[in-house]
Copies of this chain bind each other. A is one copy, B any other.
Amino acid sequence: MNNPSKPPEAVSGQFIPTDRTRVRRYPARATYERATIEAILDEGMVCHVGFVHDGHPFVIPTMYVRDGARILIHGSPLSRMLTGAAEGVALCVTVTLLDGVVMARSAFHHSMNYRSVAIVGRAREVVEPAGKLAAMRALVERLIPGRWDDVRQPTPGEMAGTRVLEIPLLEASAKARTGGPVDLTEDESFPVWAGVVPLSLTPGEPIPDAKLAPGIEAPEYVRHWRRSGRRS
């Protein structure tokens, strides 16, 4: 196992796989390319943060944003995750995008198309007010680009009521399955439909707040909201 205090640097657009990030199952589906990893992180909206508390693993979903070579998450000062994470405990942050249901001719080869990234490392709490504010802005803007300048800005009390953590993007790997089913050659004549049902997380019609004052129209970024980083 690597010394967690000395994570390897990413070089030439590639992360260096470590014992903790090297993909073992279906290694052909793995990549350590920075561009691929960043694209997945920029498309996801929720990460699953794994941490150890009293010897037991916990996995909690939370919003995040990639900001350069770090991941930012935020939350209540009361949360079990943030308390542990702020103390520099080891974390694993995983982001998964579901892309399709893969129907093969054999039961065994049914699968899903997906893209995922796992990052391991230790968090640092962002405590500087300017850094916390920038993180909150980045979290809102990645969810709804153009939103920040339109809304009521945080008060000192709200800033105090939020903790922000950054996890360095140093040890990371991506894994993806794409394309159609992969059947054995002898199964290709099996008389059943095979292929993929693509999946995507799609927005519905915006639902105005019940207390919305008359005459306030939904802005462009609401009417045509789409996932930041979404391909096409």
Contact of A61 among B116, B189, B191, B192 (CB under 8 A): B116
Given A60-B118, A136-B107: A92 in contact with B204 (beta carbons within 8 A):
no
Contact of A212 among B55, B152, B193 (CB under 8 A): B193
Count of chain copies:
2
Pair A25/B143 contact, Cβ less than 8 Å? no
- Name A116's closest neighbour in chain B (CB-CB): B61
- Size class of A's contact patch? 35 or more
Pair A20/B101 contact, Cβ less than 8 Å? no
Distance A194 CA – B180 CA, assembled complex (angstroms): 41
Given A57-B52, A108-B162: A96 in contact with B46 (beta carbons within 8 A):
yes
A176 CB, min distance to chain B CBs, angstroms: 11
Contact of A152 among B1, B49, B52, B105 (CB under 8 A): B105
Contact of A112 among B45, B57, B197 (CB under 8 A): B45
- Which stretch, A8-16, A30-38, A218-226, touches the partner chain B? A218-226
Pair A59/B56 contact, Cβ less than 8 Å? no
Quick one: which of A191-232 are within 8 Å of B by CB?
191-213, 216-219, 222, 225
Q: What would be 26 A-B contacts, judged by CB atoms less than 8 Å apart?
A: A20-B56, A48-B61, A49-B59, A50-B57, A55-B90, A58-B118, A59-B92, A59-B118, A60-B94, A61-B96, A61-B114, A106-B151, A107-B136, A107-B140, A108-B155, A108-B161, A108-B162, A110-B140, A110-B144, A112-B143, A151-B192, A152-B192, A181-B209, A183-B209, A193-B216, A196-B207
